[in-house]
Amino acid sequence: MDQSLGGHRIADAVRDAGFVDVVETRWAVPIGSWPRDHTLREVGICNLEFRDQSLEGFSMFLLTQVMRWDAITAGVLVAEARKALKDPKLQTVIYLQNVYGRKPEGAA
């Protein structure tokens, strides 16, 4: 999993900014009902529902206004992406990362 931000790891960038006691936590979050673990399955179902409901809204502006695709072509891509998200054989995941630290004592 690449965690680069301009060629640097995010945690390193936080340290370089002067923070100390930097903590980095990473999770693989499933999309869909494929996990065997009950809790991960529930998370995956909710995650799939969120992505299914928001995929068109997140995609259409970018595809039609920024990329200048016509609405029909963009709609076809969204439909294909929606179908792929629902395919349990793909076992899709997203990776979440949380990085935090604190300012050293005496820092302004």
Q: Where do the structural domains in the chain lie, given as residue ranges?
A: 4-101
pLDDT of residue 5: 57
Mean pLDDT of 78-102: 93
Q: For residue 89, what are the contacts with CB-CB under 8 A and spacing of at least 6? A: none
pLDDT in tens, 57-82: 999 999 999 999 999 999 999 999 99
Cα three-residue angle 5-10-14, rounded to 5 degrees: 125
CA distance 69 to 32: 29
Cα three-residue angle 51-41-57, rounded to 5 degrees: 5
CB 27 within 8 A of CB 99: no
pTM: predicted TM-score of the whole model, two decimal places: 0.73
pLDDT in tens, 7-57: 468 999 999 999 999 999 999 999 999 999 999 999 999 999 999 999 999
